[in-house]
A and B are shown apart, each in its own frame.
Chain A
Amino acid sequence: MAEYKKPDSLILPLASYCPGCTHGIIHRLVAEAIDELGIADHTIGIAPVGCAVFAYNYFNVDMLQAAHGRAPAVATGAKRANPGNIVFTYQGDGDLASIGAAEIVHAAARGENITVIFVNNAIYGMTGGQMAPTSLIGQKTTTSPLGRSVERNGNPIRVSEMLSSLTGPAYIERVSVHDVKHIIAAGKAIKKAFRNQVEGKGFSLVEVLSTCSTNWGMTPMEALKWLEENMIPYYPLGVYKEV
């Protein structure tokens, strides 16, 4: 059995995340993928605005910090200027699905040869629990105190389904990290999304369903259960695009 150790591409501690936050798991999966593919020395990571804004402190590679939502555009510039580099973005749902909707759609449509790790926890974490474009109907947030309603806010955006309607992307999969079995599957998907870039296959995005126990007002264990029971029915897991 392989020794369980910290990936070289991960810098601990992940001091800016709340206890029980699943960002730590996802960071580890990304770092493991970078290690296993042996690409750390030419990987450029792009941090978003949101809870993962400090990702540049945690991935042991050269890092850029992008304006809110603009990571896919920054990644495009970095990749076009140096196609030999492996370029990935790590973005939350406010960053990617709301303010950065144009940037992700067009990066996907162009089939940019980049890797996108999209962490969907159905809320704005960093700013204190406001409604996200991915918040579920009925979900109470600080800006939907009565619960999200279709009449007021419209329906939540399913990013993986939306982007998979485009011809450009090479690979889109939605995974979850609410239990060990799903974490292992998520790790495989993330590794594949990086390997695709190494092989020049083009735009790869992994949507990772994640929790925010702090802003959901739950214990970490309750949050994992809430994800499984509420998010997965609306955001079904699986491969949406594979070329």
Chain B
Amino acid sequence: MRQMMKGNEAIAEAAVQAGCRYFFGYPITPQNEIPEYMSARLPEVGGAFLQAESEVSAINMVFGAASTGARVMTSSSSPGISLKQEGISYIVGAELPCVIVNMVRGGPGLGSIQPAQSDYYQATRGGGHGDYRMIVYAPASIQEAVELTQKAFDSADRYRNPVMILGDGCIGQMMEPVSMPEYKKPDDLGEKTWAATGYHPGCGRERNIINSLYIEPDRCEQHNLDLQAKYDAMKEREVMAKEEMAEDADIIVVAYGTTARIALTAVRKAREQGIKAGLIRPITVWPFPEKEIAAAAQRCKAFLTVEMSLGQMVDDVRLAVNGCRPVEFFGRTGGMIPGVSEIYDRILKIKEGL
């Protein structure tokens, strides 16, 4: 059944459907509908919602709940996600699964409350201290946000690592028709034997210690190498991207999330004018679809990266293209959204220079 849902509420309901029973958060615009929805919904399904005293506390409550083996989520927007970074680093270090939603708004500092993509570096480079990564899904529609939210819980459990949903104010606030998928837990996800559920001698396992401290450097290095093996597996298996008219394109636009939808309209407009434009939309911004972009670089003549920032993902596009094609950039920032004609004009300009 398709129903109109606001992005934030659809994400919250998708999480509940995926078995999320605990939510800890703190108010910040533009994601407030997630905690508001969860505060009413989770008690209905035997779960618990708690408004924490700060984002710092919220993410540490997530740490505690995840330690027991529960499916748990938090959400915030840019300044709040900055505050959560300490906890996210510990969660990675302690190998705990959870889902973190960031409805990105303009920055730096208090910035604005309008949509932005200026937290890309923070999301894809770890964000907190230490050498770590997490899967970052960037939905471009409410339907996709729902599907990726459910997938996020599975990916988090599979790798015992946090997973981020990187949205923006548009994804959080707009309404679209959604059909809520029937959630089915993948067969490969077994019991969480590592969880802290209570121990006694003879209970059939060792004591479970949820910990990110490895005081001997050789053990800490080995821990990092073990984590790295998980990141390598994610890079191998979890990359998601969607290509539109990219097969024969001379000019390929690379954009994600809300920006990709606007860029697709600009690409279609260019096609109508006889310009062979195409789009590659990373759905995972980490792991980044570098192979897909490198392959496209062998076919096309130029790239245009479009973001709601002053240029962050463009670095990853350039790394993937590795100098063999020009990579142009266009972005709006601070809560401003690129328009179709602005993007089309850039495509036209690149076409003239070819």
Contact = CB atoms under 8 A, between A and B. Distances in A.
Same assembly = yes
Interface string A60-95: 111111110010011111111110010000000000
Interface string B49-73: 0101110111011111111101010
B30 interface: no
A64 B67 contact: yes
A40 B203 CA distance: 12
Interface in A157-180: none
A70 B57 contact: yes
Given A65-B209, A77-B60, A77-B61, A41 B68 contact: no
B199 interface: yes
Nearest to B203: A41
A103 B60 contact: yes
B36 interface: no
A6 interface: no
A200 B206 CA distance: 29
Interface stretch (B210-218, B242-250, B276-284): B210-218
B90 interface: yes
A102 B54 contact: yes
Interface in A103-131: 103, 105-106
Contacts of A75: 64
Interface in A1-60: 40-44, 46, 53, 56, 60
B68 to A, nearest CB: 4
Contact of A70 (B56, B196, B210): B56
A74 to B, nearest CB: 4
Given A64-B211, A81-B22, A102-B53, A41 B61 contact: no
Interface string B295-311: 00000000000000000
Contact of A62 (B24, B70, B87, B207): B207
B94 interface: yes
B5 to A, nearest CB: 27
B24 A65 contact: no
B198 A74 contact: no
B60 A67 contact: yes
B200 interface: yes
A134 B213 CA distance: 26
How many chain A residues sit at the interface, stated as a range, is 20 to 34
Nearest to B70: A81
B207 A77 contact: no
A65 B94 contact: yes
A191 B59 CA distance: 30
B198 A42 contact: yes
Interface residues of B, number: 39
A22 B287 CA distance: 49
A62 B58 CA distance: 22
A41 B204 CA distance: 12
A76 B87 contact: no
A56 B94 CA distance: 13
A85 B67 CA distance: 12
Given A43-B198, A62-B198, A102-B54, A73 B64 contact: yes
A178 B136 CA distance: 53
Nearest to A62: B196
B283 to A, nearest CB: 30
B208 interface: yes
A61 B199 contact: yes
B128 to A, nearest CB: 10
A56 B56 CA distance: 23
Given A62-B197, A106-B53, A56 B64 contact: no
Contact of A56 (B68, B86, B87, B211): B211
B68 A102 contact: no
B198 A76 contact: no
A22 to B, nearest CB: 23
Contacts of A81: 21-22, 48, 64-65, 68, 70, 72
Top 7 closest pairs, chain A to chain B, by CB: A77-B64, A77-B61, A73-B60, A41-B200, A78-B64, A81-B65, A62-B196
30 contacts: A40-B199, A44-B67, A44-B196, A44-B198, A53-B213, A56-B209, A56-B211, A60-B199, A62-B199, A64-B94, A64-B211, A65-B94, A65-B211, A66-B90, A67-B60, A67-B86, A67-B87, A70-B56, A70-B60, A73-B52, A74-B67, A77-B22, A77-B60, A77-B64, A77-B66, A78-B67, A80-B61, A81-B72, A82-B70, A85-B198
Interface of B: 21-22, 24, 48, 50, 52-54, 56-58, 60-68, 70, 72, 86-87, 90, 94, 196-200, 203, 207-213
Given A60-B207, A66-B63, A81-B72, 14 more contacts: A62-B207, A63-B209, A63-B211, A65-B213, A66-B90, A74-B64, A77-B62, A78-B68, A81-B65, A82-B197, A102-B57, A105-B53, A106-B53, A106-B57
Interface of A: 40-44, 46, 53, 56, 60-67, 70, 73-82, 85, 102-103, 105-106
